[in-house]
Structures are given as structure tokens and as C-alpha cells.
Amino acid sequence: MIEASNIKPVTILGSYLCLAAVLTAQILRRLYQAKIRPQTQRQDPHYRTRKSAHLVLFATLAVVSLVITWYYMLAFFTLSYQTWTRENNLPLPGRLWGSDVLLARNEDVGGLHLGPWLRDTKLFNDAWETVIDGKARFWWSQQIFLITTIWSVFLGVEGNRRKIPHLWTFMLLGQIVAISFAMNLSFLAMLLYNPAPVDKRRVQYEQGQGNQTRTLYVLSTYTLYFALGAVFGSIFHIPSFVGTSKFLSLLALPHVLLFLPVIIPQHWSQFDLILDGQPRTTSVVTNLYRLTVGPSVVLFVRATYLALRDQEPGGALAIFNELSSHPAVSSVGWDVILCFLSATFWASIDNTNTWRTLKYILPIVRWYPKDPDPKNVDDLRKDE
């Protein structure tokens, strides 16, 4: 039975857009409050000038990310509707807006048949099957999964180190709008929220002082390890399930699990302690980064090899040509490109933390100055 009007699908679409708008407004409100908050430390004019320039940079990247990714997403919606009308021999309206179009009854000529279209098509399923089907397209879609995984751990570590509230809103906004958009907003937050002072007593979490503390520590840590393993396992296997009944379930797994690094109690995310004025990362943070970056590199190399092998003689050029093959692929592909661009700018701005993190993740990185010899926990207790 054909629905009598388009009110229901318009309401669903409106609710989705309202959720995205509310999340964005909440994040922007917190960013504004952080910006106008009185500074506890004196800042020199040169630092303020550079900080203002960085804020403008990431704000611009956020806007660009939103415009580009959603230009192609709207193009995908339009293409899907046009395909559906051709298959059902229905006319296309001369325009898309206006109450006489959006709320027209389905039998009215020139109205949008949103109800039957959304009933007959599965936009979320169709979009992801399109961007995963084929090794060259999967090269792009896999990158957005890997980037989101790394960003999730990074957001959990750095966001909690800076006491940024409601980190989960960044992840949810990224999943319903665009990862690059939410990533740039998170970089803005990290510029505005200074790292919290490190309490030497926090090292007791890692040493497991007390059975209750150690139990919480072990459970939360290994839950995150397991979640990361499940995420990478789903990324590896998901191309094999395209077109099957299990596809959406496997696709939903990383979407859900990647909230864990930002909602689990974050004692592991704190920098361990200050040693002679230098922060030293905890072994838990190091392991999380290694468990994230290591498999990401392996999956990236594998996907690149498979894509290049199947794209002869076009090679790498054929992979990049997929960017223009379909609007859904273009949206994901440009999301990947903008994420890499934004992360590169952040690494160049926060170069000290970036190189220190790389040093702990990759032992072969030797050109960064060595940390001072760490004291053990007992020595620190004597100093208290």
C-alpha cells in the first residue's frame, strides 16, 4: 500500500538534520565558552596571534569539509531518487522546494514521492555497498574506517587530557555528518582547552594500587583492546559480506565500538607524570596507539596492493578516478582527503606531541631527543 503523503519521511529526514544541527550547535557553544573563558596563564602577543591563525585555519577546514562532503551526499540522494523514478515510470518535479512539492500527495503530478522512495530504497545500505563494492572503491572507504579508528583513540587520549566535555558528541557528529567536519571541530577544541595539570598520584592507576582500582583498570583497558581488534576484524571482512543479510550488522559494529575510547573512564588517557618538566606517556596509551596504527598500516598496504593489482594498466590513477565514479564514493573520498589534510596541519602545529607519540609507537624513530631517565614510582612517592 502506497502511503498517502510524504509527511512521515519528511519528518524522519527533518529529525536527522535537526540532530546534526543540535550536535553542531552544542559543540560550537562549548567552543565559544572556552574561547571567552579567562586565561589562567599569561600569554604573549605572538602566541595569541598564532593561536588565532590556527583557529581560523581549522574553522575554515571545518566549513570546507561540510560543504564538499554534503554536496556529494545530496548529489547521491538526488541520483537515488532519479533512479527510483525511472524504474517506476514516475515524473520528476520541476523544482524540489515548496510545500506543494514536499507535502504533495503521491498521486499528484509533480510532487515528490518521498514516502514510496524511502520505503523502496535503503539509502544507508545502498551508499555503503556502493563505496565498498570493488577494490578501488574499497581503498577509499577503508581509509575512512581506519582514520576514524585512529581519531577515536586520539580523541579519547587528547580530549580527556584537556578535560574537553562530552567527547562522544564529536564522534556522533562525525558519523552522521562527516568525519573530517567533526575532526576539525575537535582540533578547535584542543586549541581552546589546555592540558590539565598532571597529578603524580595518577600513576597509581597504572601500578594498580588497590584491588578495586586495578580491576577497573584491567577491565577498561582490555575492553578497549578487544574493541579495537573487533573493529579491525570487521574492516577486514566487510567486503566479503556486500549484498548479504549480514552486511549491515557488520557495518554497524565499528560504528558502535568506536565510541568506547571516548566514553570509557579515561584514567588510561592521562599522561603518566611529569619528569624533569617533560611529560611521559603511559604504557597503556602507547599500546593503544600501537594497536591502532599497526593494523591500520597493514590493512592500508593490503588494500593498496589489491587495488593496484586489479586496476592495471591504470594503476594508482585508476584508484583516484573512482573519486568521480559515483557521488557516494566522492563524498567518502573527499572526506578521506580532507581528514589527511587536517591531520597534517595539526601534526605541524602540535609537532612536539606528534613526534613524541611517534617515538613511543615506532621505536625506529630516533631523531627526536631522548626523554630524561625516568624515576620509578617509589622514588616519586619519596618526593611527595
Q: What is the mean pLDDT of each run of 10 residues along the chain (384 residues)?
A: 60 87 96 82 70 93 96 92 87 56 44 77 90 92 96 89 91 96 96 71 45 61 90 95 91 94 63 41 72 92 89 74 92 96 90 63 48 36 35
Residue 153 neighbours by CB under 8 Å, 6+ apart: 228, 261, 288, 289, 292
Beta bridge partners of 278: 275
Q: 253: which 3 cell numbers?
A: 559494529
User: Cis bond leading into 313, ω under 30°?
Assistant: yes
Q: What's the pLDDT score for residue 357?
A: 64
Pick from 185, 177, 183, 10: which is nearest to 104 by CA? 10
CA–CA dist 327, 278 (Å, integer)? 47
